[in-house]
Structure 1
Amino acid sequence: MAWFALIIAGLFEMFGVLMINQLHKERNWQSLVFVVIGFGASFIFLAQAMKTLSMGKAYAIWTGIGASGGAILGMLFYGESKDWKRIFFIIMVLGSAIGLKLVS
């Protein structure tokens, strides 16, 4: 259950980052509410996961999901660079998160 909560926390982190970009485009209260909901839910699920998982492991994986997911969403929705080097390093971040799970 902790791993499920951690993945959900990472997905909400990605949503929060996406909504920050939306807030910069459209300065309205709806975008701000979505930013708060995204990051608030992310922290709640991260806290739930950390009841079972160690802080270092949970935080590293949560950050990895959010950072790589945010970069992928930027490439898909906002025309950010899809250079092979960028994709390679995103894969490295995800591989590190998987590696943490495998060695624990």
Structure 2
Amino acid sequence: MAWIALIIAGLFEMLGVFMINRLHDKRNWQSFLLLVFSFGVSFLFLSIAMTTMPMGTAYAIWTGIGASGGAILSMVLYNEPREVKRIIFIAMIIGAVIGLKLIS
């Protein structure tokens, strides 16, 4: 259950990062509410995961999902550079998350 909560937390963190960019583009109350909602749900599920999972592991995985997911979203939605080096390092972050799952 903790891993499912952690994945949900990471996905909502990705949504929160997306909403930061949307709020920057469109300054309206809907964007702001979605930003607050996204990070609120993310923190809620992170705290649920941390009830049975070590804090360091949970935080590392949560930030890994958010960082790699945010970078992938920016490449897909905002045409940020898709350089091979960048993709390799994103894959390394994802690999580290998988590694933490395997040893936990």
> TM-score normalised by the shorter chain: which range applies?
over 0.9
> Following TM superposition, where does structure 1 have runs of at least 4 consecutive aligned residues deviating by more than 3 angstroms?
none
Structure 1 residue 78: Cα displacement: 0.5
TM-score by length of 2: 0.99
Match of 2:57 in 1: 57
| Cα RMSD for the two superposed structures | 0.5
Kindly state the Cα deviation for residue 65 of structure 1 after the two structures are TM-superposed: 0.1
Query: How many correspondences in the alignment?
Result: 104
Q: Aligned equivalents of 1:99 and 1:2: distance in 2? A: 16
Q: Report the Cα offset of residue 39 of structure 1.
A: 0.3
Tell me which amino acid in the other structure corresponds to 2:15.
Answer: F
| Structure 1: stretches of 5+ with no match in the other structure | none
Residue type of the alignment partner of 1:90: I
Letter in 2 for 1:35: L
The alpha-carbon deviation at position 101 of structure 1 amounts to 1.1
5+ long unaligned stretches in structure 2 = none
Distance in structure 2 (CA, Å) of the matches to 1:49 and 1:3: 7
Q: Deviations over 1:26-52 (max 9, x none)?
A: 011110001000000000000000001
Question: Normalization by structure 1: what TM-score?
Answer: 0.99
Q: Mapping of 1:5-20 within 5 angstroms? A: 5-20=5-20
Identity of aligned residues (%): 66
SS at match of 1:81: coil
Q: Distance in 2 between matches of 1:24 and 1:79?
A: 17
Separation (CA, whole Å) in 1 of partners of 2:103 and 2:44: 26
